[in-house]
Amino acid sequence: MKFFHISDLHIGKQLYGYSLLEDQVYVLEQILKEAQKEKPDALLITGDIYDKPVPGAEAVAVFDRFLTGLSRSCPAMQIMVIAGNHDAARRIDYAGDILCQHGIHIVGTPLQRPEDQIRRVTMEDVHGAVDFYLLPFFKPGNLRGVFTEEENTCYVNRAKEEGRSEYEIYLEALLGREDLDASRRKVLLTHQFFVPGDGEKPERTESEIITVGTLDHISAHLLSAFDYVAMGHLHRPQKCGRENIRYCGTPMPYSLSEEKDHKSITVVTLGLPGQEAQVETIALTPLRRVRKLRGSVKELIALAQQEGKMSDQPGKAGQKEINDYVSLVVTDEEPGRYVREQLGMYYSHILEIRFDNRFMQSLMEDQLSEGLSEDYFEMFRSFYEMRNGAGMSGEEAEIFAKLLDETKGGEA
């Protein structure tokens, strides 16, 4: 049996104020084409469908078109979806019963009652049954209703006594309630934060929500009963202890820290019961890369003229530009004014412009040695110079001083 594993679509996300919907549609279309080509038996989406609990109408429409395209072009393929920590569980559950009749299995809400079991979808191939367990993101408080008051008290005390997270204790209890038949192949879909359990730390990126400490850590050792564990939550593709326990990562980069990451679809093939799952990847190409570039203004312009493509934007006829999302570090000692405007003619998606020269180095050294100033005007003046490479004009200083006075007076 062969299936695709993708996760953390974060549809509707913005990057430094830029909407990523166009980029997300582009990469979802690649996944759709690969599904048409490879014809997997199933496609697993392990959480964070949307970037916000209440997604915009455009984001919902993008996911709707994606599911519809998969269902129409691959009618025999089963689609399994769980909610992540960014998703609103009940919104994800909407129309779940109807969708299930069309081979789309969506689980958003964690278990709530004593009689509830982890949702299971069973498929068959030439080697027999494969059970897929769909476990959406949960917090320990979400599961209190599944257990008795005495059990809940016991789990909380155990977490303290054993130095383990409540997340881990509750997942162990949930799995203990399931009939995990050793003779059947089993796949778990989950969106919790798992760690290898041997001191090794998973690789994180800047685009994830980071929890301080080990509050939400769960040891991957709890997952030994499964032939494959399809995990969401972390944005960088990687195994978690064993090859068959995997974070598939995001389908496109969502932060500057992912500049060198290779995004992909994880393809898993299950053979005979007891055989190790085979894991491969299919590369995905982003519409725009995320890049960090450094140089003088002239060097950055020259790079754009060398690498860029002809712009179709008004006012840029015959002008080459780079359309990637870029962080630019300008190294000129005297970059002059209107640096952003100059570089904006050659870079269409500037995330940030930073300056690295002797002036900025001395400014940072002064701030570190003297501490942060309580003079807000002076703080803004330094910030303005850092971002623009030149001081404020008299008119600009007057405007900001007026705004600052109004704010102090409670008028703004």
338/361 same-domain check: no
CA distance linking residue 337 with residue 389, whole number of Å:
6
213/296 same-domain check: no
Q: pTM score, two decimals? A: 0.87
DSSP letters, 47-91, are S--BSSSS--HHHHHHHHHHHHHHHHH-TT-EEEEE--TTS-HHH
272/383 same-domain check: no
Please report, for the domain that includes residue 74, its CATH number: 3.60.21.10
Q: Which residue has the tokens 């030994």?
A: 224
Phi, psi of 135 (to 5 degrees): -115, 105
Distances from the Cα of 297 to the Cαs of 247, 269, 300, 328, 354, in angstroms? 40, 50, 5, 10, 12
Distances from the Cα of 127 to the Cαs of 11, 130, 132, 201, in angstroms? 36, 9, 15, 36
CA distance linking residue 34 with residue 40, whole number of Å:
9
DSSP state of 140: G
User: How many beta carbons lie within 10 A of that of residue 281, not counting itself?
Assistant: 15
Domains contained in the chain, number: 3
80/144 same-domain check: yes
8/112 same-domain check: yes
219/315 same-domain check: no
CA distance linking residue 405 with residue 261, whole number of Å:
47
Q: Which among 301, 268, 295, 297 is positioned nearest to 282, based on CA atoms? A: 268
Domain termination residue (choose one: 261, 283, 305): 283
Q: Which residues contact 109 (CB under 8 A, 6 or more apart)?
A: 83, 89, 90, 93, 136
CA distance linking residue 245 with residue 186, whole number of Å:
12
DSSP letters, 242-257, are EEEEEE---SS--SGG
Residue 129: is it exposed, middle or buried by C-beta count within 10 angstroms (0-12/13-18/19+)?
middle
Domain termination residue (choose one: 283, 313, 345): 283
299/400 same-domain check: no
110/72 same-domain check: yes
CA distance linking residue 314 with residue 306, whole number of Å:
21
352/368 same-domain check: no
294/210 same-domain check: no
Give the structural domain span for 390. Answer: 357-412
Structural tokens at position 340: 């952003």
Q: How confident is the model at residue 411, as a pLDDT?
A: 42
CA distance linking residue 338 with residue 54, whole number of Å:
38
Q: Which among 110, 123, 140 is positioned nearest to 44, based on CA atoms? A: 123
273/128 same-domain check: yes
Chunk the chain into consecutive blocks of 10 residues (it has 412) and report each block's average pLDDT, rounded to whole numbers: 98 96 98 98 98 97 97 96 96 90 96 96 97 98 96 96 96 96 96 89 86 84 97 96 96 96 98 96 98 96 94 84 96 88 95 84 59 61 60 73 68 40
Amino acid at 342: Q
